[in-house]
Structure 1
């Protein structure tokens, strides 16, 4: 039997020459599978298929390799790496950790790809920032935040002027968001860099088919983030269920 993670990477890699090859993911994914992909996430097989088609449309080719660190009948953990060429002919590379959980039928019910290194600094810092928001345990989240945000980090949402100063304040806020207003999906549409600044756009979906779009501007200090400012025309969709 083919390892499910190996089969996943095989299908993704083959889409460079034939995007229709991604249709084979349908039988690999469980119907309600959860995809955590380098800071982005979607719930459900159809959303996951659409997510991969969008990604494939932004590159000419890609090749993955991986090394398993643990493997059982129901789960696989591994270290993965990729190298590819985008639509403009620019080469890129990335690496990170992977975890796969299977359902009773051997389909992938959860696939997590965490980004730990990348040739594209904007992509890396964006992913590291968003990955923090997916850590459920506040102690583990606080530890991860030490390597991502400066101690005097500032997080600024649109009006009504939600401003959080320091890692502890942001950690508490993330916990509230996870409990009171968890989204169904977060997808990064684009990211750009200009010296010590990074800007990226996200689309967020909530239960009840509610959606919000926003842009985040990250101000970096070395490899850490010291300020994030959010712009959104309908940010109330994000915060309406928060106390």
Structure 2
């Protein structure tokens, strides 16, 4: 089976928090890439199948910055994959998710995480990324937009530190729907590995564990064995 990479840019993207005293990270949020290099839906699933792994390009905030971020946002840098589906009135439903993975020992690297139990997806689903704390995966990329699970009364509050600390919350409850009202003009440095469904394949559920399998952004054509 051939593995397709969803959400990976063809050109380099600069992490906005490469090293040093930096707080340009995403916090307490579920995100998805709505546009990448001018193309819409880069993490939209093309057909029924499974997500077998995901990867990220992580920055490296200084030790002082990490302590400050952990204090303000509830712990160490943590990631989780989210499978979303668009509903009526601009809402998204959380269908499935992986387990949380702590990523701090891989800062300034590009770790990949193989799901021991792949996440089942259907055509049109969206692969998103959640952090219940914070993640240094914010990147600079022209003509790109990502959306966040934030629903302020006033859209001008999007991105303001006070709003993020008080109101920003990740989309975590399976089966629930949320509005993703805030949009930002850059990108989140994550991607997912998709394998199309074969006849007779079973489905993977939620609560999947992940194992680090390397630091390169590509996989062999045979995919990843769960």
Asked if these proteins are the same fold (TM beyond 0.5), I'd say: no
Structure with greater Cα Rg = 1
More helix by share: 1
Task: Please report the TM-score for the alignment, with normalisation by the length of structure 1.
Answer: 0.21
More strand by share: 1
Task: Please report the TM-score for the alignment, with normalisation by the length of structure 2.
Answer: 0.22
